[in-house]
Amino acid sequence: MTMIAEVIVDVANSAVDKVFEYIIPENLGVFEGARVLVPFGPRKILGYVLSIKNSPSTHHALKEVLAIKEGGSILPEMLELCAFMVEEYNIKWVDALRLCISREVRNETAKEKHILMCKLTGAEGLEEYITSLPSKSQKQKDVINSLKLASQKKVELEKNFGTSAVSTLVKKGFVEVFEETERRKPLALKTNQQKKVALNPDQAFAVENITKFLRQTYVLFGVTGSGKTEVYLNSIEKALERGKTAILLVPEIGLTPQVFALLESRFGQKVAVLHSGLSVGERFDEWKRIENGEARVVVGARSAIFAPLKNVGLILIDEQHENSYNSETNPRYRTEDIALFRAKYNNCPLVLGSATPSIETFEKTVSGEYMLLRMPNRVHEAPLPETTIVDMRNEIARGNDSIFSMPLLSAISEAIKSNKQTILFINRRGYTSFLRCMECGYIPKCTDCDAPLVYHKEGDVLKCHFCGKKYRTLTACPNCKSVHIRQGAIGTQKVVDEIKKLFPSVPVFRMDNDTTSGKNGHQKVLEAFKAESPAILVGTQMLAKGHDFDNVEVVGVLDADQTLYQTDYKSAERTFQLITQVSGRAGRKSGGGKVFLQTFNPKHFVYRFVANKNYEAFFDQEISVRETTNFPPYAVIVRLLISHEKEEVAYQKTKNIFEALKPLKEEFGENIVFLNAMASPFTRLKNKYRFQVLIRFTKQIKDDIMKKIYQTVNIHQDGKCQIFVEINPSSLA
């Protein structure tokens, strides 16, 4: 009987994202998930076998699969995962499949690294030969002595003892040269927490629960410094003991070298690292080690969730709330969805760790869907840092209009005197920026949406990122008539320059996208900073993520309000998370940490909860706001982002889609809270004009309405105009 393979061809062109059928020649050994070579038009191209069946769906003559590619096949689990992603996110099969195979393996741009090794052959007469050697041949003796201990790299031997000594011994038959593959090992960074410690009761309780697998998903809610990492390590150990494998995700590439070293100190060579910052060779080797079962623990940034690990027994996501777990470019996906899929497939626990869980995730512990594990205390009983809210309007009133408030400056001076370190944090998500009156703190807002307006240099206008409404820019404050109006954002370089002027003898480091590019860029900055005391580190969001500093006493949040006025429903949540996380860098070892929040809006409820370190109280307040205003998790927001080089094309497409979606309003009635089309806040990005359709609807209709939205999108998708669909996007920019 002829067997038919259903194949997705590896071409990144939307027109061909469908299943093609090929006849499987007998004795080719094609299996589901195999990578195969198939004829495609005049070419031979790579494809992935989705499934095998015994009758074709057409009467047309089918071509045959040409060959099967070694390695890089897609696991059955990952095939199902791709199907899930195609359905859930409306992405292309080929894009989903490509996530499940390393670029290097797919493109064959790397291969194993072979090195020449030397060892003793064990041939008879070696001892006699050595004693017969004249004293000028000492080098040969040295070669033999060193090989008696272990086999060695040929180049090393030659470097130490000379090429002729080695080649003579090879000729005489006493030494043999052989080939070995060498692992190109990613950077591991020594951490100061390598010893195994006895767990405290909270940690032990968490590990026990996770190991018993009482619930599918756990939220490990532990304050900064509560020892979550130790819970991860012990849970991984338990999974390995049961013969399983484990995946640990960290939010940022810069954190992997530390965690990698830590895992390696516990689990040795069983650990592999995966992230996009690895060299081609490193990634190739790590991928292979996972595929062939040598590696049983994988640590990495979000893409590591696609590691071809078999028999997964535990998945952990550290700093669960971090935005970096969402892929915001094609293919768009949420790492937590993927992790949950794999955890269910493998029937194993998923652990989401954070000191500031996302509101949507924490809500699931309230509803009982996820199990909450609390770790309310720091391990070393070091108290959490003391937080001071500094009203910047007072600073201006007393004549200080610099970036730094007086209380912050005197704390920095104190820290310097006692050889402690300071971190200055700039709350910047890059681009958006609002205006503010420096006298009274007034911020212009949209009259329709109450959202702060964003200043656009292009056209010198203020814009509402919710409804798109434009306003004239401000020259004087309508509230107090002051002309002292400034754009919200401050730059890292400016802060570095200013602080250097004030403390010229103290080393100042800078950590942002500009200073950390390049291989191990983060590490270089962090290590340089850690080695100096006193010292000052100026940085952006990347400081917030999980770094364990021993000697930081003062943290200054220079412009706490920046994320607060981002114009979306998550701005309070994000502000709380960010400030709590950066604050957590202070006084980790010995306590005595001091945090200064500089704000123009000191009464805002977020700051009260941040200062009291009360996440749960913040959650209660925020969740009730979400409920009354009908935002996630009580409603779903969908954004269709439409972009094209020509403005008219993008505009026309948006209009058409909007018209096609309008009937949904009648169909779903009150379940649709909002439906509108507008120019995207970043009207032009990477040379493309961007428009968007926003839809907000109740949770109940999600499955129904998403099908219809995707149908509409697919009808309008024609390869010329890009249309992306995002569910609960983390940013509406």
Residues forming contacts to ligand ADP in the complex (CB under 6 A) are: 193, 197-200, 203, 222, 224-230, 379, 548
Residue 413 interface partner, choices Zn ion, ligand ADP, none, CB cut-off 5-8 Å depending on type: none
Residue 272 interface partner, choices Zn ion, ligand ADP, none, CB cut-off 5-8 Å depending on type: none
* Distant-in-sequence, close-in-space partners of 309: CB < 8 Å, separation ≥ 6: 245, 247, 290, 295, 296, 298
For residue 678, the minimal CB distance to Zn ion (Å) is 10
| Chain-centroid distance, C-alpha 654 | 31
Environment class of 329 (CB within 10 Å of its CB; exposed 0-12, middle 13-18, buried 19+) = exposed
Angle, vertex CA 502, rays to CA 498 and CA 504, nearest 5: 100
With CB under 5 A as the contact rule, the residue among 439, 553, 559, 726 that binds Zn ion is 439
Q: 625 — phi, psi (to 5°)? A: -60, -45
Could you tell me the strand order of the sheet in which 461-463 lies? Answer: 454-456, 461-463, 470-472
With CB under 5 A as the contact rule, the residue among 338, 446, 453, 582 that binds Zn ion is 446
Residue 446 interface partner, choices ligand ADP, Zn ion, none, CB cut-off 5-8 Å depending on type: Zn ion
With CB under 5 A as the contact rule, the residue among 37, 449, 528, 649 that binds Zn ion is 449
Judged by beta carbon, residue 187 or residue 485, the one nearer Zn ion is 485
d(CA 299, CA 259): 8
Judged by beta carbon, residue 222 or residue 349, the one nearer ligand ADP is 222
Q: What's the chain's length in residues?
A: 733
Extract the tokens encoding 185. Answer: 């090992």
- Residue 539 per-residue DSSP state: E
Would you count residue 440 as binding Zn ion (CB under 5 A)? yes
With CB under 5 A as the contact rule, the residue among 16, 280, 340, 467 that binds Zn ion is 467
With CB under 5 A as the contact rule, the residue among 442, 549, 631, 682 that binds Zn ion is 442
Judged by beta carbon, residue 78 or residue 207, the one nearer ligand ADP is 207
Judged by beta carbon, residue 206 or residue 640, the one nearer ligand ADP is 206
Would you count residue 600 as binding Zn ion (CB under 5 A)? no
For residue 393, the minimal CB distance to ligand ADP (Å) is 34
Per-residue burial over 489-508, b if 16 or more Cβ lie within 10 Å, else e, is: bbebeebbeebeeebeebbb
For residue 529, the minimal CB distance to ligand ADP (Å) is 18
Extract the tokens encoding 128. Answer: 């006699």
- Using an 8 Å Cβ cutoff, are 317 and 351 in contact? yes
d(CA 16, CA 604): 52
For residue 68, the minimal CB distance to Zn ion (Å) is 57
d(CA 258, CA 546): 10
Residue 379 interface partner, choices ligand ADP, Zn ion, none, CB cut-off 5-8 Å depending on type: ligand ADP
For residue 378, the minimal CB distance to Zn ion (Å) is 41
Extract the tokens encoding 80. Answer: 């199902």
| Chain-centroid distance, C-alpha 657 | 32
For residue 523, the minimal CB distance to Zn ion (Å) is 43
Would you count residue 3 as binding Zn ion (CB under 5 A)? no
**Any idea which residue has 């591991």 for tokens?**
188
For residue 593, the minimal CB distance to ligand ADP (Å) is 13
Judged by beta carbon, residue 93 or residue 466, the one nearer Zn ion is 466
Tally of CB atoms within 10 A around 282: 20
Would you count residue 477 as binding Zn ion (CB under 5 A)? yes
| Ordered DSSP codes for 425-489 | E----TT---EEETTT----B-TTT-PBPEEETTTTEEE-TTT--EEEPPSS-TTT----EEES-
Residue 193 interface partner, choices ligand ADP, Zn ion, none, CB cut-off 5-8 Å depending on type: ligand ADP
For residue 164, the minimal CB distance to ligand ADP (Å) is 52
Nearest CA to 387 among 620, 226, 599?
599
d(CA 595, CA 556): 6
Tally of CB atoms within 10 A around 634: 16
d(CA 310, CA 632): 35
Q: 35 — phi, psi (to 5°)? A: -95, 130
- Using an 8 Å Cβ cutoff, are 545 and 581 in contact? yes
Residue 224 interface partner, choices Zn ion, ligand ADP, none, CB cut-off 5-8 Å depending on type: ligand ADP
Residue 120 interface partner, choices ligand ADP, Zn ion, none, CB cut-off 5-8 Å depending on type: none
d(CA 469, CA 208): 54
Judged by beta carbon, residue 167 or residue 193, the one nearer ligand ADP is 193
- Using an 8 Å Cβ cutoff, are 14 and 719 in contact? yes
For residue 296, the minimal CB distance to ligand ADP (Å) is 22
Judged by beta carbon, residue 185 or residue 589, the one nearer ligand ADP is 589
d(CA 52, CA 36): 13
- Using an 8 Å Cβ cutoff, are 558 and 490 in contact? yes
For residue 351, the minimal CB distance to Zn ion (Å) is 40
For residue 566, the minimal CB distance to Zn ion (Å) is 14
Residue 225 interface partner, choices ligand ADP, Zn ion, none, CB cut-off 5-8 Å depending on type: ligand ADP
Would you count residue 392 as binding Zn ion (CB under 5 A)? no
With CB under 5 A as the contact rule, the residue among 74, 312, 352, 464 that binds Zn ion is 464
* Helix, strand, or coil (residue 492): helix
For residue 204, the minimal CB distance to ligand ADP (Å) is 9
Judged by beta carbon, residue 381 or residue 648, the one nearer ligand ADP is 381
Judged by beta carbon, residue 95 or residue 548, the one nearer ligand ADP is 548
Residue 671 interface partner, choices ligand ADP, Zn ion, none, CB cut-off 5-8 Å depending on type: none
> In terms of DSSP H, where are the helices of 124-190?
126-132, 138-149, 154-161, 163-172
Residue 47 interface partner, choices Zn ion, ligand ADP, none, CB cut-off 5-8 Å depending on type: none
Judged by CB under 5 A, how many residues of this single chain contact Zn ion?
Answer: 15
The stretch among 446-454, 495-503, 550-558, 696-704 that binds Zn ion (CB under 5 A) is 446-454
Binding site for Zn ion (CB under 5 A): 437, 439-440, 442, 446, 448-449, 464, 466-467, 469, 477, 479-480, 482
